[in-house]
Structure 1
Amino acid sequence: MEDSKNLTPDTDITPKVTGIGGIFFFSDNPKETKDWYAKNLGVEVNAWGSVSFDSRNINNPDEVETLQWSPFKKGDEYFSPSKKEFMINYRVQNLEALLEKLRENGVTILDEIATYDFGKFIHIMDAEGNKIELWEPK
């Protein structure tokens, strides 16, 4: 096995989390919450109804990474089966290999991989009952 310390960002395919892709939480009134953040903190809502925070990948400065922040209507089924008031989206690499590892470890996988123009997604549950969204960007 190749020493991971010798891998460059272009050759590292270790199945793992590489960052946070989004923070989602329940709100009694998502529109008012977004408006409050826009008015008071200057955040701008994008076409998906969330706020995008862009940054550079420290290992590959030409790559722009985005973190999505979005309030959801309290009780939105997108968080199910979790009963928690938040969900975190983790940016990952090598999603298929990561899923193999998760299955071997007995992790609850909630759905199948969904593929979109901007990457692949799947949902899992952690040991505390938190729904987690895994996203492998294109």
Structure 2
Amino acid sequence: MKRVTGIGGVFFKCKDPQKVTEWYRKHLGLATNPYGATFEWLESEESTKKGITQWSPFPEETNYFEPSTKDFMINYRVENLERLVEELRKEGVTILDAIETYDYGKFVHILDFEGNKVELWEPIG
């Protein structure tokens, strides 16, 4: 069973997300949007299938990364999220919430062994 198939996103806390986004747009050329920047790429196994990786600055007071005390969170792309969560439970991994489904994918949050919050994402389509 495949588990992680790639990085879906990198999220980090900062004092002023809008200014950080503008700085990265101006100085590094990121094509920014209201959520940060989205990088598109093509799957290596299916060269016509598009994938994305999201880059998003969050306000430093966000509680979205809790219970982790870190200023970042990584989102990993996965296949078959339901099955993976079953396996992770058997392996004693802390599952923080129920799987949620949106029009762009399914999500769940876990903790790694050091208490870092990790977001798992199964894209739809």
Q: TM-score range by the shorter chain?
A: over 0.9
Task: Give the superposed CA RMSD.
Answer: 0.9
Q: Which amino acid aligns with 2:23?
A: W
Q: Is the 8 A contact 1:15 1:97 kept in 2?
A: no
1:86 aligned to which of 46, 59, 72? 72
Q: Deviations over 1:56-81 (max 9, x none)?
A: 11111111110000111113110010
Which residue in 1 is equivalent to 2:6?
A: 19
Whichever of the two has the greater Rg, that structure is 1
The TM-score with structure 2 as length reference comes to 0.96
1:65 aligned to which of 37, 51, 73? 51
Percent identity among equivalent residues?
A: 52
Query: Deviation of residue 45 (structure 1)?
Result: 1.7
**Count of aligned pairs between the two proteins:** 124
Q: Distance in 1 between matches of 2:94 and 2:2?
A: 17
Which residue in 2 is equivalent to 1:33?
A: 20
Q: Deviations over 1:14-44 (max 9, x none)?
A: 2411000000001111111000001111112
Runs of 4+ deviating beyond 4 Å: none
1:104 aligned to which of 72, 85, 90? 90
Q: Distance in 1 between matches of 2:9 and 2:92?
A: 25
Q: Distance in 2 between matches of 1:94 and 1:58?
A: 19
Q: Distance in 2 between matches of 1:106 and 1:31?
A: 39
* SS in structure 2 at match of 1:101: helix
Are 1:130 and 2:106 counterparts?
no
Q: Distance in 2 between matches of 1:137 and 1:60?
A: 15
Q: Is the 8 A contact 1:15 1:95 kept in 2?
A: no
Q: Distance in 2 between matches of 1:36 and 1:15?
A: 37
Gaps of 5+ in 1: 1-13
Q: Distance in 2 between matches of 1:72 and 1:133?
A: 15
The TM-score with structure 1 as length reference comes to 0.87
